[in-house]
Structure 1
């Protein structure tokens, strides 16, 4: 059952009985699998189902959790997954898809209709894997995404050439390594929230993304918030929430 609203509609239309609905509501808000407690009510509370962080999980645990969420939700996403983990899942669920760049596995019975607009921008092409994680998370949650890559401040005319598209978005994700200035520049040019994502791309004094992180959290621009280093997932999720609010008001 995808969400409470859908269940209530089915009751009203006679597609499921009151007893079936009552059974669903009496169910625990999580399923205890011993090694994991799958949050089966995540969508009811937040509007989005639970997403799996695949990195470091034992194969048998990942496979069982992935299958369980797919059976219950009709869709499932796993982030930071390896190709070997994908092959393990695909052997059981052939409809699963893997994106090597973002390292995301998805399995979806029916895709959501895309709404609103989120702009995902990168300073350089080396930042694209993190940006793709953000973009594909946002798309998975039903949002339209504009990708605007390689528009860093060392050639700011590239950014300005796409400014009309960026300014129309309900939310902007700015992904940058090195000194991480892109988020501040974009935040000074738009009237929408900007989510800054520092990446670990850079030379020695970049400290694997710490310099970009410090630039972003010390930004003098208004309307900018920063997630953790390389956290494309976190940025995509927050952007989906913002875009959902904007689309609801439109």
Structure 2
């Protein structure tokens, strides 16, 4: 078994381990390819996976793996392709089984069961301390899983993260007591359910973009986060923008792009930046 990806899959019990069995299921090496290599020769390829390995050069960050709907083998092959290309790996919305498989395949990676994410960094995982931080603010503890996805996305982007939890509008003094954490941030991601008022309140205190992430936390008329989404979209604060319901990755990624805009103008490879470990 000369293919290292097949060896990895066999070690995880996802393909047969014996040489004779592997020969019957072994696929051509073109099954996992970059977007500039074209499609596999067979139109009925059992592994329809074409990684966009050029995305880091075009957009500043590598392709992110979205877990739902992926078989175990497709998930591992996607991660292996990014690892082999020397790119940082982030996978989101993972099941417990998917988290376990990735952690067994690359023990040096970082799994976050609350965020349902897994990441493996190429080179130093430390944040770039030259960047202004991004704050992640939650209205309540029920918003924690979505906020965790925001934080893990920012860490994958090597953006310094500040965390302010449980400062919803029902206790307005709590936010006022933490304003000093927010004043010098590049952006602020506010995660809130219920009526979704917190982003507007935060935005009235700061001079940076505020990205609202509505969550599905709330009672019946919350409509699975729709009420929070509409409240944020109708914010009177001019510096509020909004992403989709429970979209922690999207909120974190947009905030990370804001924070790293200067760095990306210098280099298309985030791993090439010298980082301050202090």
TM-score of the superposed pair, with normalisation by structure 2:
0.76
Call closer, same or farther: CA 1:246–1:220 in 2, change over 3 Å.
farther
Matched, 1:174 2:187: no
Aligned equivalent of 2:127: 113
What SS class does the counterpart of residue 225 from structure 1 fall into? Answer: strand
CA RMSD of aligned residues (A): 1.8
Q: CA deviation at 1:88?
A: 1.7
Note if contact 2:35-2:52 (Cα within 8 Å) is conserved in structure 1: no
What's the CA shift string for 1:84-140, capped at 9, x where partnerless?
112222332222221011000112242143232101100001101101101110111
Q: What are the residue-to-residue correspondences of 1:1-250 with 2, within 5 Å?
A: 29=36, 32=39, 34-110=47-123, 111-114=125-128, 115-245=131-261
Would you tell me which structure has more helix in proportion to its own residues?
1
Segment of structure 1 superposing worse, 83-92 or 218-227: 83-92
Call closer, same or farther: CA 1:69–1:32 in 2, change over 3 Å.
farther
What SS class does the counterpart of residue 53 from structure 2 fall into? Answer: coil
Q: CA deviation at 1:248?
A: 7.7
What SS class does the counterpart of residue 230 from structure 1 fall into? Answer: coil
Unaligned runs of 5+ in 2: 1-33, 41-46, 266-278
Aligned equivalent of 1:5: none
Unaligned runs of 5+ in 1: 1-26
What's the CA shift string for 1:124-161, capped at 9, x where partnerless?
01101101101110111010010000000000100000
What SS class does the counterpart of residue 231 from structure 2 fall into? Answer: helix
Tell me the distance in 2 between the aligned counterparts of 1:91 and 1:232: 25
Note if contact 1:116-1:247 (Cα within 8 Å) is conserved in structure 2: no
Tell me the distance in 1 between the aligned counterparts of 2:48 and 2:170: 48
Computing the radius of gyration from Cα coordinates, the structure with the larger value is 2
What SS class does the counterpart of residue 237 from structure 2 fall into? Answer: coil
Note if contact 1:112-1:141 (Cα within 8 Å) is conserved in structure 2: no
- In the alignment of these two chains, the number of paired residues is 223
TM-score of the superposed pair, with normalisation by structure 1:
0.84
Call closer, same or farther: CA 1:113–1:146 in 2, change over 3 Å.
closer
